[in-house]
Amino acid sequence: MEILFLQRPDVLPGQVELVTRRIAELEGARLHCASSPEEARQYAGAEILLCPTLPWLPEVIEGLPRLRWIHFLSAGVDRIWEMPFDKTRYLMSKSVGVHAHTISEFVIGAILYALKGFGTYQRQQQRREWRRFRLDECAGKTLGIVGLGTIGARLAELAAGLGFRVVGTVNTPREIPHVDVVYDASGLDDVLAQSDFVVLLVPLTPATRGLIGARELGLMKPTAWLINVARGEVVDEKALVEALRGGGIAGAVLDVFEEEPLPAESPLWELENVLITPHVAGTTQHYMPRALEIFAENYRHFLATGELVTPVSVALGY
């Protein structure tokens, strides 16, 4: 099987050795690497693409007449739907689960940031100010997870260990370990109303774009925090700023935004009850090894059955 690994030219040199070593372990696999459509044209026999959601991906696809399968190194594939290539022509898979440990740990850190007053203490330190106040704890609080996928399941496990009651939504309700109440998508209002922390983990689709607006924020407790590690477009940022300024919610930890990088003129920068991180919740040194293992699992299953373990659903849009 001819596999073509695509990556940005500034990133490819640092990943070639790892990718080459991992692909060499797969039966019948032959690897090629390219960092531009021009380089990719040398490998017209490629049957599999292994790649991020690069903007020049359609140009590469156009030059691969034998292409059968595209595997994305990301878990989210929302960028591909606006790309001009036939999504029904190829098998497609994604790296579901690559973020489970990393993002769930990030969220726990965000929760502790809020409960333990770390932001306030950092500002006091800068002012050389010694002022004590009562801290809070996790036990007895409710964590609402909007999107109980792989990350959400891992987060629920960690949160339950800290004493949280966990509730959340998933498209197909089922029993999920460490989750006390599982709702379908229509139960969002109930999750928002009872949660002390609301974590957004849904993929970006037409159904989730603008999912959290002024009405939804109004359902949250004034003491609650919103944590967004999904996509910026899931939240109406203007409504969020108003809720944060007006005391509608206590605060927010935001790793994703409607426009990235977040513009310097965004009012979010000025709010002391907001922690801004630059879309890094899923980034650690373990990302690529995990993504490649997910690809390898799909590859082995593909050779054995012709099917994929973590497919992209064209019908669902993720």
Percent of the chain scored above 90 by pLDDT? 100
Answer yes or no: 279 catalytic. yes
pLDDT given for residue 74 in this prediction? 97
pTM of this prediction?
0.96
Tell me the mean pLDDT in the region 44-59.
Answer: 98
pLDDT of 227: 99
Question: How do 142-146 and 69-72 pair as beta strands?
Answer: unpaired
Name the architecture of domain 100-276: 3-Layer(aba) Sandwich (3.40)
Render pLDDT for 192-202 as a digit per residue (tens, 0 to 9): 999 999 999 99
pLDDT for 226: 99
Tell me which of 129, 137, 260, 272 is the catalytic residue. Answer: 260
Residue 294's pLDDT is: 98
Work out the average pLDDT over 36-46: 98
Per DSSP, the residues of 222-258 read TT-EEEE-S-GGGB-HHHHHHHHHHTSSSEEEES--S
- Most distant CA atoms of the chain, gap in Å: 67
- The DSSP-derived string for 249-291 is SSEEEES--SSSSPPTT-GGGG-TTEEE--S-TT-STTHHHHH
Q: Tell me which fold the domain 2-98+284-305 belongs to.
A: Rossmann fold (3.40.50)
pLDDT, one tens digit per residue, over 248-278 is: 999 999 999 999 999 999 999 999 999 999 9
What are the pLDDT digits (tens) for 150-174?
999 999 999 999 999 999 999 999 9
| φ, ψ for residue 143, nearest 5 deg | -105, 125
Task: Supply angle C-alpha 253, 162, 109, rounded to 5.
Answer: 25
Catalytic residue among 62, 279, 297, 301: 279
Task: Look at the alpha carbons of 206, 98, 67, 15 in this order and tell me if their dihedral is positive or negative.
Answer: positive
Strand-pairing partners, residue 32, are: 4
Q: What is the pLDDT of residue 288?
A: 97
CB proximity list for 305: less than 8 A, separation 6 or greater: none
* DSSP summary character for residue 164: -
Average pLDDT score over the chain: 98
* Residue 231 half-sphere exposure toward CB, CA atoms < 13 A: 19
Three-class DSSP category at 45: coil
**Catalytic status, residue 260:** yes
Which residue of the set 154, 231, 237, 290 is catalytic?
231
With beta carbons less than 8 A apart as the criterion, state whether 133 and 116 touch: no
As annotated, the residues of the chain forming the CATH 3.40.50.720 domain(s) are: 2-98+284-305, 100-276
Query: Taking residues 68-77, what's their average pLDDT?
Result: 97
